[in-house]
Amino acid sequence: MAPSLSEPFSNSSVLIDFVINQGNGVKGLSEMGLKALPKQYIQPLEERMCMTNVQAQESIPIIDMSNPNDPEVEKSICEAASKWGFFQIVNHDVPIEVLENVKDATYKFFGLAAEVKNKYSKEHSPSNSVRFGTSFTPQAEKALEWKDYLSLFYVSEEEAFALWPSVCREQVLDYMRKSEVVIKQLLKVLMKGLNVNEIDETKESLLMGSMRTNLNYYPKCPNPELTVGVGRHSDVSTLTILLQDEIGGLFVRGNDGDNWIHVPPIKGSLVINVGDALQIMSNGKYKSVEHRVVANGSNNRISVPIFVNPRPNDMIGPLPELIENGEKPIYKQVLYLDYVKHFFRKAHDGKKTVAFAEL
């Protein structure tokens, strides 16, 4: 039952019930045709995107992966990871139809009725591996974010076939499988840049032992300048592989610290960013950089990130090869599960999570 339109959500418990408990999400709010943003989504001034702080002339590197073993390509990847923490790749090995299929499947999932999507909510999902939700951590946030998502943690093909929504299951699995080639190419190059020339099984499972794919839906928003799609944060992953649609809205913190750089959509490209786990393992050589997503007043937007992570029970810290070469560690060894729990316990807060692992 949708609230009346006159002053629909002055009462927070009515909003929480409609958006979270009934599974309508912000998509449900958007489709009501609200003329004004509900107050629960109005961000404090310092968290809103100020367009005067956007560096229009700057752009993150775009790297052609048609020959990933070319020393110049390898050098570009390591430099981008050290200086920017973000780069786009084109001419990679993930077929364009795989990317188009997973985008279509994302629209199909979010097009399902609220009561169907709600079967996958925290309260109703048969497993922690499958989670439909909204915002980031609603119980910890002073202001909510304008985003719905489906989060799929990969355990096995069997579990995925048993538990993931049938409308997007095969497309997400295919996207993850086909991306694995590119993930391994990138990690091999990034390790080589740290003089770690062999990735054995133990090292591989530390770098990419678990994966999670999110389907993100940012519906069009009344008063988009007052809220955020996603607040300032860095990822807790080793690497994140992001497929974005043609709408745009992802911004990355510039090197000077005060400005933001838009990541323009390029058809067929993937956006790669270093996560906190790789910043810690590289002892700070590779940078996990703050980013955010703005809300949009005229278009719905989707994105599909794959978070490539250590396994929950892995200890992460500067790689032993770096310390053996005489580097002084700037991070301690932490249990990856503890690090992730710390991230999800609080609202998005820029780069503060990494302090959890600092010496």
Per residue in 300-318, pLDDT (tens digit) is 999 999 999 999 999 999 9
Q: What is the pLDDT of residue 69?
A: 92
Name the more confident of 256 and 34: 34
Compute φ and ψ for 224, nearest 5 degrees: -60, -25
Compute φ and ψ for 70, nearest 5 degrees: -65, 125
Q: What is the pLDDT of residue 140?
A: 52
Per-residue pLDDT, averaged over 88-100, amounts to 98
Closest Cα to residue 211, out of 250, 183, 247, 234? Answer: 183
Question: Given pLDDT bands bounded at 50, 70 and 90, which one contains residue 186?
Answer: very high
Please check whether residue 329 is in contact with residue 276, taking contact to mean a CB–CB distance below 8 angstroms: no
Question: Given pLDDT bands bounded at 50, 70 and 90, which one contains residue 3?
Answer: very low
CB atoms closer than 10 angstroms to residue 299: 14
Per-residue pLDDT, averaged over 306-335, amounts to 95
- pLDDT of 50 above 50: yes
Share of the chain above pLDDT 70, in %: 91
Which helix (DSSP H) or strand (DSSP E) does residue 175 occupy? Answer: helix 169-192
Q: Are strands 86-90 and 62-64 parallel, antiparallel or unpaired?
A: parallel
Q: What is the pLDDT of residue 277?
A: 97
**3-state class of 172 per DSSP?**
helix
Distance CA 295, CA 335 (A): 34
- pLDDT of 353 above 90: no
Which of 74-78, 195-199, 256-260 has the lowest average pLDDT? Answer: 256-260
Share of the chain above pLDDT 90, in %: 68
DSSP-derived secondary structure letter, 237: S
Give the orientation angle of helix 169-192 with respect to helix 201-208, to 10 degrees.
Answer: 120
What phi-psi label fits residue 23: left (phi over 0), alpha (psi between -120 and 50 degrees) or beta?
A: left
Question: Given pLDDT bands bounded at 50, 70 and 90, which one contains residue 344?
Answer: low
Please check whether residue 245 is in contact with residue 254, taking contact to mean a CB–CB distance below 8 angstroms: no
Task: For 317-331, give one letter per residue: b (16+ CB within 10 A) or e.
Answer: bbbeebeeeebeeeb
- Residue 82's contacts (CB-CB under 8 Å, 6 or more residues apart) are 193, 285, 286, 287
Per-residue pLDDT, averaged over 60-67, amounts to 96
- pLDDT of 45 above 90: no
Compute φ and ψ for 63, nearest 5 degrees: -115, 125
- pLDDT of 357 above 70: yes
Sign of CA dihedral 83, 88, 90, 93: positive
Tokens of 338: 């503890």
Output the average pLDDT for the chain: 90
Question: Given pLDDT bands bounded at 50, 70 and 90, which one contains residue 38?
Answer: confident
Q: What is the pLDDT of residue 144?
A: 86
Q: What is the pLDDT of residue 166?
A: 97
Which of 44-53, 163-172, 274-283, 296-305 has the lowest average pLDDT? Answer: 44-53
